[in-house]
Structure 1
Amino acid sequence: MLKIGIVTGTIRENRVNLDVAKWVKQLAVEQDDAEFEIVDIKDYDLPVFAEPTSPAFTDELVEREKQLPWSRKMEEKDGYIFITPEYNHGIPSALKNALDFLYEELNDKAAGIVSYGSSGGVRSAEQLRTVLSEFQVAHVRTNPALSIFYDFDYPKLNPTEAQTKTVKTMIEQLLPWTEAMRGVRDKKHA
């Protein structure tokens, strides 16, 4: 069975991010060929990334003990759904910081992105696609982009039926890509 992590994108107080993640999980569990788990970056208390070398080139990190639970959790997943708000036209610093502690854990996996913000969080989603490409993550096309004006009775999530349908489409695209990328990983490590 495929293991999909629904990864939160922010750690700030009074965030709606976790509500969006729970909603996505509720829609995702209709799939019987995958397990979905919310992976909340706030639970990992990661320091600011200030390593002398990128994890792409070494596994000897100064903050290894703090980073290890996060690394292991992300490594055990076959694919991901990232829930990202848009902060100042970009990816939240907490999400970028958490990703900077990883490299091989994400290689040759698949991801979907659910974004939100005043413009649906599309600029954050596009920046996240660029970052995920560096990790060799295959990201699916469909991007549910929730508007804080139409999909929230702020701060309460109240997504439109169109957004619900878009999330389901994204998940339907993600699962075959996740399975295919598992094959890529198996071939590389054979």
Structure 2
Amino acid sequence: MGMNSFYATKPFTEDNFLLNPVNNKYRAYIIGTAKKHGFAPHALAAFINAEAAKKKGGEWDEKSYNQGSKAGGLTQFLPNTWLEMCANQSSLVGQYVSKNPKLSLDAKLNLRFNAELAIDAAAAYAVYNFKISKLPYQNLTEPSSMAKLAYLLHHEGAGGGRQFVQNSFSQERAKALLFSQIQDKKNQLII
């Protein structure tokens, strides 16, 4: 392997972190955000991959929008949760909104479609949820475990995530969530 070959592969292995080449444009955001919020880049990328709508070839769609839930952007934030992040000064979006206080509600919600802000908000929200869930997240050593907990807490919030982990999630709640994920608008199963 010559020196040119080495440098040609370096961007795909920086920080011992492989990323699908179609999503390499997000690499710097993921690595920077992971370092800032105490994540392994692998965990953050796995979380994003679970949340993001995909284009052809597995490319993440930073402009995706779910008409049913109103979730939008690369990390599929619901409007109310995104607005919480707009007030959270540990997130880039919170800092941006603080410097631009005259932004309209729609302008704030449209910031979900900015990949850098969405990636950072997802990590900041995960750290926030880790702390308020009172779960022993500090004991997680595997990036996959951290990604799974972040994903669970992103969907269920700190309280629901804690109930799920502690096996106190009600069967009614679990059934409602399951059916909301696998039914279409006519309440027909889609699996």
* Higher strand proportion: 1
**TM-score in terms of structure 2 length:** 0.25
Name the structure, 1 or 2, with higher relative contact order (CA <8 Å, separation 6+). 1
* Higher helix proportion: 2
